[in-house]
Chains A and B, each alone.
Chain A
Amino acid sequence: MPTLSFKPRVPVFDANIRVGDTPDTPSPCRSRAELLAEMDFHGVQRAVIYHAHTEATSPIAGNERLEQWLGDDGRLVPQWSVLPTAESLAQVEALYAQGRVRCVRLHDTRPAGLPFRCWAYAGLLSWLSEAGIPAWIPLPDADADALVTTLQAYPRLVTVLVGAHYTHALWVRPLLRALPTAYLELSRYEPIGELEALRDEFGARRLVYGSWHTRYAMGPMLFYLHHTDLSDEELALVCAGNLERILSGEGVR
């Protein structure tokens, strides 16, 4: 039963934190120290982070700005953003050669007219699949048909579908059925009772906790996860275990 204060009872590894300012919104966490303090307040030990600049303007420049957030204590895991251009791919390949790529985030090219289709993304997706690098794909502006058609051509590519909303309620289950190596990140997926229903249909191993801080407050979804009928074992998988497995290259079940 809930109380007026809350701390998680399992280790937490947040799969989705955005750092840095966007052109129109200064971040509420202005530094690595402030972010770590926020994580400590909510009982979050580690997080995968990407830079806001990679979404708003440039993956290449944003990746450069991510460096200053990383530190050397291992609490913040970099997520490099990428789009299907030679320069972007070269940047991430160079990081990979240094052993610094555990996951990437696909930059949305649809506003510029490039759809998420094999003919446009084949080079990038082939490389990710062969290298065993999992890809985070934001759902808010995605095309469901393009996602399924394209990703089914890369059956060993592990993806984490990020930011599903209640307005995606008709998509989510068909996507997870059609894409067996896809995981669902939960930062803003709030249809009533759906978390338990997804666990029942797909298993807790397909669900990944993320807050999408600083777009969203860090605590609410973590609180939600702790007030379901998930077992402690399932809760531990969703809050950290599944992400650990994905980042270790063991996301293909």
Chain B
Amino acid sequence: MIDGVQVIDFHAHVGRMDRYGMQDDATMMLRAMDMAGIDRACVFHIFYPDGTSSNDLTARFVAQHPDRFIGFAYVSPLMPERMIPELTRAIDELGLAAIKLYPPYVAGQDFSQAPWDPIYQFANERGLTIIIHTGEDAPPKHLSVIAPRYPKANFVAGHSGNTPVERAQGIAAVQANANVYLETCSTFRTPGVIEQLVNEAGAERVLFGTDMPLMDPRPQLGKVITARISDEAKRMILGENARRLLGL
């Protein structure tokens, strides 16, 4: 809690990447969250294309601290026959709250192409939120294609596109579509990025994220806290927008 705001991290992971020192040690994650005043983190596991293996790990992780972690479901068009049955199971049986997609794992197609449509249709029918990794390897311009086709789903550009050209695409998608949002985590901590997102997309469309445990959440929180934006904008970014999207 920071100045009365319940702080929600919209982008965190379950799983290990040992070469980068990433491990989903809940104790370590909670310790960093507590030092930063982060109340809850949305977590997802994205390393198994069958979806089931990833979502079971996510659910098991969340079950350790259900008051602190919120699980999101993962599926991949690499195994198209599993997408809808697994999403149905993950949402209805495991209680996962939203969907995470990682397009760079699907070579040769962008995320506006037909293989991804069943996922978007599923989210549209249920009014779910989908956070999609974006960057040079997954340009957020594709959000401008899919968002108007699925108006009851909400789409979040993970990393807000990361780099300047892609960031501009993400902002354009927000400006054109009421159901698109931008999430802040990135090692690209370029000066003025948070200010740009607020000024051009609107604070009500920006979500705080950290990429924990790949990265420590505290510098990512520092990006928002030390930005030249109003306290009201910080409140929206740090928690109020996420609460609204997730119906908390």
* Interface residues in chain A, defined as those with a beta carbon under 8 Å from any beta carbon in chain B: 1-6, 28, 41-42, 165-167, 169-170, 188, 190-195, 213-224, 227-229
Partner among B19, B29, B191, B215 whose Cβ is within 8 Å of the Cβ of A217: B191
Q: Which residues of B contact A195 (CB under 8 A)?
A: 216
Contact flags B207-248 to A (C-beta < 8 A → 1, else 0) = 000001111111111110111100100110000000000000
Among B32-40, B90-98, B123-131, B150-158, the stretch in contact with A: B32-40
Q: Residues of A contacting B235 with CB < 8 Å? A: 4
Which of B5, B219, B225, B227 gathers most chain A CB within 10 Å?
B219
Residues of A within 8 A of B19 (CB): 169-170
- A188 near B193: Cβ-Cβ < 8 Å: no
Q: B28 on the interface (CB 8 Å rule)? A: yes
CA distance A153 to B215 in the complex (A): 34
The interface residues of chain A lying within 8 Å CB-to-CB of B221 are: 2, 223, 227
Question: Of all chain A residues, which has the CB nearest B195?
Answer: A217
Tell me whether A4 and B234 are in contact (CB under 8 A): yes
Q: Across the interface, do B29 and A6 meet the contact criterion of CB distance under 8 Å?
A: no
Q: Which of these, B191, B192, B213, B226, contacts A192 with CB under 8 Å?
A: B213
Nearest Cβ distance between residue B84 and chain A, in whole angstroms? 34
Partner among B29, B191, B223 whose Cβ is within 8 Å of the Cβ of A213: B191
Q: Are B35 and A228 in contact (CB under 8 A)?
A: yes
Asked if A166 and B2 sit within 8 Å, CB to CB, the answer is no
Please tell me which one of the listed residues B2, B29, B37, B219 contacts residue A221 in the complex, with CB atoms under 8 A apart.
B219
Judge whether A4 and B231 touch: CB under 8 Å: yes
Q: Is the CB of A166 within 8 A of B214?
A: yes
Contact B219–A190 (Cβ < 8 Å): yes
**Cβ–Cβ contact B218 & A223, under 8 A:** yes
Q: How far is the CB of A126 from chain B (nearest CB, A)?
A: 35
Query: Which residues does chain B contribute within 8 Å of A221, judged by CB atoms?
Result: 219, 222
CB-CB nearest 4 A-B residue pairs:
A219-B226, A223-B222, A220-B222, A169-B21
Determine if A6 and B2 form an interchain contact, defined as CB atoms under 8 angstroms apart.
no
User: Is the pair B225, A191 in contact by a Cβ cutoff of 8 Å?
Assistant: no
Q: Given the complex, which residues of A lie within 8 Å of B35, measured CB to CB? A: 227-229
Task: Give, as a whole number of angstroms, the nearest-CB distance from B226 to chain A.
Answer: 3
Instruction: A213 to B189: give the CA distance in the assembly, Å.
Output: 10
List chain B residues, Cβ under 8 A from A228.
35, 218
Contact A2 to B216, CB < 8 A, known contacts A190-B187, A217-B189: no
Say how far B138's CB is from chain A's closest CB, in angstroms: 19
Q: Across the interface, do B187 and A188 meet the contact criterion of CB distance under 8 Å?
A: yes
